[in-house]
Amino acid sequence: MVKFGKKFFFEDGKSQPIKKTTRKKETKIKEKSLILEKIKFYSKKMIPVVLILILVFGIILLTKSCNSKKKTSKNSDNKAEDKLTPKIVDTIKIKINEQVPTIDKFVKNYDKVKSETDSITYDTSNFVNNAYTAVGEYKVIITIDGINYSSRLIVKDTEAPEYSLKDVTITEGQSYSLNDFVVSCTDNSGKECALDYANMDYGRYTNPGTYEIKIVAKDLSGNKADVKSAKLIINAKQNTKPNNGGGNNKPSTQTCDYGSAEPANNQILAYSVAKNGCAIDPEYAKTGTYITVPNKAARNDLEQLKKDIENKNITATIKFELNVEPVFNKAGTGLVGYKAYILGYKCLNKSCDIAKSGDTELIIKYYLNQNGKRQFEVNKLGL
């Protein structure tokens, strides 16, 4: 080989260059091969990561899809329930003599469940002109699409009675009663009022003079009216003197239609109803005209008695009796008042029959005097 300049000539007379391109190609092939090896290497490493990411993403999409379906299903169920199941109000309260509520007031979702055949039925006791005339709890039947549902209507009396009074004039020595001051007393329940002195001293004036008598009215629901006042005028008794002619004139005696107001000696007079020293028509004893006040007072005291027994931590089973009885005058021809007795019996066995001997023991017996105080005849509890 002979070298001339940058070329090499071989002995055969042909010149051949050095194979640089071949080396470059080999280098590139090696580089590509190395890159492919790296790609394969990292691809193998990344496959688990990619798979995990795909799995997580799939779970998220699946969860959202399920929640969406549940929400749609729940909403659909709620709509179906609202549409098909009436939501009944358990209890509604109204005032006495108030018009009863319509069916839609008893059903919260009535607009969604109502049908043409719906109806509402009220308990007919004390039911007049679509209103209840007595306090109490009444059953209500609501019929919707042929199915019956139950509710309750509670009727309350929240209004106090209305009453008016008048002044009373008597003569010294004559008696008076609370009812002498009452012109009228009415309650929206149609029941009798319970009238009483605001202070028991108002029923015990005897000396001549003018007194302010304060009276209060309540109804059977406990609604109390404002206290009202009337005047009691007791005129002094006039002494009868003989005339100038020396005559022996005697004081005139009062004539009573039903006899004097003096009660029988063996009777206890707790509530007087006599008028002007005279007994009144005994027929009143059979009515509630005058018995209301002592009966109410006795009931109130019985409730207080039960509380007194509870406060003493007495565990015995006790049955109570309340008796309000009329008191007649000595002649038995007229009514002069009432006596109010309260009795308590301790139960000695399960039957606890007051009428049977050996079943109970009398441990409490007392009456209420004119001051509203207890006068015990038997008091084994030490009250």
126 vs 297: CA distance, rounded Å: 27
CB within 8 A of 281, min separation 6: which ones? Answer: 257, 258, 334, 335
Q: Can you tell me the distance from the alpha carbon of 374 to that of 383, in angstroms, rounded to the nearest whole number?
A: 10
Question: What is d(CA 151, CA 92) in angstroms, rounded to the nearest whole number?
Answer: 8
Q: What count of residues does the chain have?
A: 383
pLDDT at 7: 47
pLDDT at residue 329 is higher than 80: yes
Query: Would you tell me how many other CB atoms lie within 10 Å of the CB of residue 377?
Result: 12
Give the pLDDT confidence score for residue 125 in this predicted structure: 86
**Could you tell me what percent of the chain has a pLDDT over 90?**
25
Give the model's pLDDT for residue 231.
93
Q: Does the pLDDT of residue 36 top 60, yes or no?
A: yes
Q: How far apart are CA 330 and CA 266, in angstroms?
A: 10
Which tokens sit at 313? Answer: 């931590």
Position 6 pLDDT exceeds 80: no
Does residue 246 come out as left (phi exceeding 0), alpha (psi in the -120 to 50 range) or beta? Answer: left
| Among candidate residues 231, 240, 235, the one with its CA nearest the CA of residue 173 | 235
The pLDDT of residue 8 is: 47
**Phi and psi angles of residue 375, each rounded to the nearest 5 degrees, phi first:** -115, 100
**Alpha-carbon distances of 377 from 50, 124, 152, 262, 374, rounded to whole Å:** 101, 46, 46, 23, 10
Q: Residue 17's pLDDT band (boundaries 50, 70, 90)? A: low
Q: Where are the domains of the chain?
A: 20-83, 91-156, 160-238, 260-383
Q: Taking residues 217-225, report their average pLDDT.
A: 90
Q: Report CA dihedral (345, 351, 357, 358) to the nearest 10 degrees.
A: -80
Q: Point out the least confidently predicted range of 68-82, 96-110, 151-165.
A: 68-82
CA distance 32 to 38: 10
Give the pLDDT confidence score for residue 79 in this predicted structure.
Answer: 54
Whole-angstrom Cα distance, residue 237 to residue 235? 6
User: Which range (34-48, 273-287, 359-373) has the least confidence?
Assistant: 34-48
Q: What is the 3-state secondary structure (H, E, C) of the chain?
A: CEEECCEEECCCCCECCCCHHHHHHHHHHHHHHHHHHHHHHHHHHHHHHHHHHHHHHHHHHHHHHHHHHHHHHHHHHHHHHHHHCCCECCEEEEECCCECCCHHHHECCHHHHCCCCCEEEECCCCEECCEECCCEEEEEEEEECCEEEEEEEEEECCCCCEEEECCEEEECCCCCCHHHHEEEEECCCCCCCEEEECCHHHHCCCCCEEEEEEEEEECCCCCECCCEEEEEEEECCCCCCCCCCCCCCCCCCCCCCCCECCECCCCCCCEECCECCECECHHHHHCCCCCHHHHHHHHHHHHHHHHHHHHCCCCCCEEEEEEEEEEEECCCCCEEEEEEEEEEEEECCCCCCCCCECCEEEEEEEEECCCCCEEEEEECCCC
The region of weakest confidence among 17-21, 184-188, 338-342 is 17-21
Q: Which CATH number fits domain 160-238: 3.40.50.1860, 2.60.40.10, 3.90.1300.10, 3.20.20.150?
A: 2.60.40.10
Residue of 80, 189, 86, 84 lying closest to 141 (CA atoms): 86
pLDDT per residue as tens digits for the range 141-189: 999 988 999 999 999 999 999 999 999 999 888 888 888 999 999 898 8
- What is the spatial distance between Cα 342 and Cα 376, in angstroms, rounded to a whole number? 10
Residue 365: exposed, middle, or buried by beta-carbon count in 10 A (0-12, 13-18, 19+)?
Answer: middle
Output the pLDDT for position 341. 87
The candidate with the shortest Cα–Cα distance to 282, out of 331, 233, 235, 323, is: 331
Question: Scanning the structure block, which residue is given the tokens 């005291």?
Answer: 301
> How does pLDDT run across 298-325, given as a tens digit for each residue?
888 899 888 888 888 888 899 999 888 8
Share of the chain above pLDDT 70, in %: 83
Q: Give residue-wise pLDDT tens across range 232-287.
A: 999 887 654 433 333 333 333 457 888 888 887 777 777 888 887 888 888 878 77
Nearest to 182 by CA among 171, 170, 196: 196
What pLDDT shows up at residue 213? Answer: 93
Among 266, 261, 263, 269, CA closest to 340: 269
Residue 72: predicted pLDDT: 58
Which residue, among 269, 252, 286, has the nearest Cα to 329 in the 3D structure?
269
pLDDT tops 60 at residue 191: yes
Residue 150's pLDDT is what?
93
Q: Residues 24-38: what's their mean pLDDT?
A: 74
Condensed to tens digits (0 to 9), the pLDDT of residues 108-143 reads 999 999 888 999 999 988 888 899 988 889 999 999
Whole-angstrom Cα distance, residue 207 to residue 19? Answer: 156
Looking at 3.40.50.300, 2.60.40.1080, 1.25.40.10, 1.20.1560.10, the CATH number of the domain 91-156 comes to 2.60.40.1080
